[in-house]
Structure 1
Amino acid sequence: MKDQQNLIIRRAIEEDAEGLRDHVKQVLAENADKMGTSPTEFSVTVEEEKEWIRSHEERGVVLVAVMDDQIIGMLNFRLSSMKKFSHQGLFGMSVQEAYTNQGIGRRLLESLFDWARQDGRVEKISLEVFADNERAIHLYKNMGFEEEGRKRKHVKFGPDHYVDELMMGKFI
C-alpha cells in the first residue's frame, strides 16, 4: 500500500491536461477490459484535453487525485444540458492499477458528493459500469449507489464475448 499522506484530491485545471491525458493512456493500457474506449481509440491532444477540462466548468467538475505531482486518478461529472434532466448527471472515474484498493476511488466520490451538495443543482448522480467490474460495483454500492437497470450484451469484446452494462444511481 502506498503512503497517502501526499495524496491531494482537487479540481482539475488546464495545466493538468497533459498529466490527465497520460493518466488515461495508462489506465486504458492497464484495464482495457473495464473501459469503453480501447487504447488505440484514445488519441487526444493536450489542447483537446484542455478544452475537455474547460467544458466541465459550467455544468460539471473534473477532479484529480494527485500524489507526488503525478495524476493517479480522476473523476469527471457533468449535469445534463436538457432542462427536464438537468437535476442529474453522469460520472466516470479511473484510478491507476498501482493505486487501487487504497481508498482513492472513495475519496474521489466523497469529493464529488461534497461538490454536488455545494453546487446545489445536483439531485442525482448516475454511472454506468461493466457488469463484470466487481471491484468498482462493490465500491459504488458501499457509497450508496443502487442498481437501476441492466443493458444486456451492451459491450462486445469479440465474437460471442459480450458483457452487460449496469446503470446505477444515487440521490444526493
Structure 2
Amino acid sequence: MTVKNKDKFSIRTVCVEDATAILALQREIVDEGEFFIAVSEEYKKTLEEQIEWVQNLIKNERDTMLIAEIDGEVVGLIVFSTQKLIRLSHTGSITMMIKKEHRSMGVGKLLLKELLAWAEQNPLIEKVCLGVFSTNQRAINLYKSMGFVEEGRKIKEFKLSDNEYIDDILMYKFV
C-alpha cells in the first residue's frame, strides 16, 4: 500500500529495510522526553532487535506498521499491534510517532486514516485502542476528530519528577 498526499508525503507499509530509519525516529522521539514512556537512558534497542521486531510485524496478519515519508525520509510511523490471547484477539493498540518538525502538517491524520482503513478491511480486527499522555492535547484532538472515544484514565500513571505526574488517557474506536 502506498498513498500520496498532494506530493507532500506518502504513506506505505513498512519493509525490513526501514528498520534503521525507524530506530532513528524512535530514538529521536524518546530523546525529546515529552510524549514517550521510556526515557533516553532506558531505550537501548539494537538494530538487530529492531529488524526482528519489523519482521514479526510483517509476518503477523493482525499487526501492521505504516510509514510516512517526505522525499524518501521517514518522518512518521503508526504501529498496530495485537496480543496473542484469544479473548483479546479482536483488539489491538496503536502507537504513533511523528518527527517534531513535521507535526501539524497532516502526517498523523493521514497515518491514522490509513491505519483505520486497514483495520476495517481486516476481518480479525474489531477494536482499535490507544493510550495518550493527558498533556498531549494535539494528539487527543486528532484522535477525537477521527472518532476515538475516551474509555478511561489512569491517574498519575507516569511520574516525571518528585511531584509531577501525567495521566494516561485510554481511548478506543470500533471498526
* Fold shared by both chains (TM-score > 0.5): yes
Moved over 2 A (4+): none
2:128 maps to which residue? Answer: 125
Q: Which moved more, 1:55-64 or 1:122-131?
A: 55-64
1:11 maps to which residue? Answer: 13
Q: Distance in 1 between matches of 2:6 and 2:151?
A: 33
Q: Distance in 2 between matches of 1:113 and 1:140?
A: 11
1:24 aligns with 2:35: no
CA RMSD of aligned residues (A): 1.3
1:110 aligns with 2:113: yes
Q: Distance in 2 between matches of 1:76 and 1:143?
A: 17
Q: How far has the Cα of 1:4 moved from its partner?
A: 5.7
What percent of counterpart residues are identical? 34
Structure with higher RCO (Cα < 8 A, 6+ apart):
1
- The alignment's TM-score, normalised by the length of structure 1, stands at 0.94
Q: How far has the Cα of 1:6 moved from its partner?
A: 4.2
Q: Distance in 2 between matches of 1:170 and 1:119?
A: 14
Q: Distance in 2 between matches of 1:45 and 1:6?
A: 31
Q: Which runs of 5+ in 2 are unaligned?
A: none
1:73 paired residue among 64, 72, 76:
76
1:51 maps to which residue? Answer: 52
2:140 maps to which residue? Answer: 137
Q: Which runs of 5+ in 1 are unaligned?
A: none
Q: How far has the Cα of 1:29 moved from its partner?
A: 2.2
Q: How far has the Cα of 1:51 moved from its partner?
A: 0.8
* SS, match of residue 56 in structure 1: helix
Q: Which amino acid aligns with 1:147?
A: E
Q: Distance in 1 between matches of 2:172 and 2:121?
A: 19
2:99 maps to which residue? Answer: 96
Q: Is the 8 A contact 1:154 1:165 kept in 2?
A: yes
1:158 maps to which residue? Answer: 161
Number of positions where the alignment pairs a residue of Structure 1 with one of Structure 2 = 169
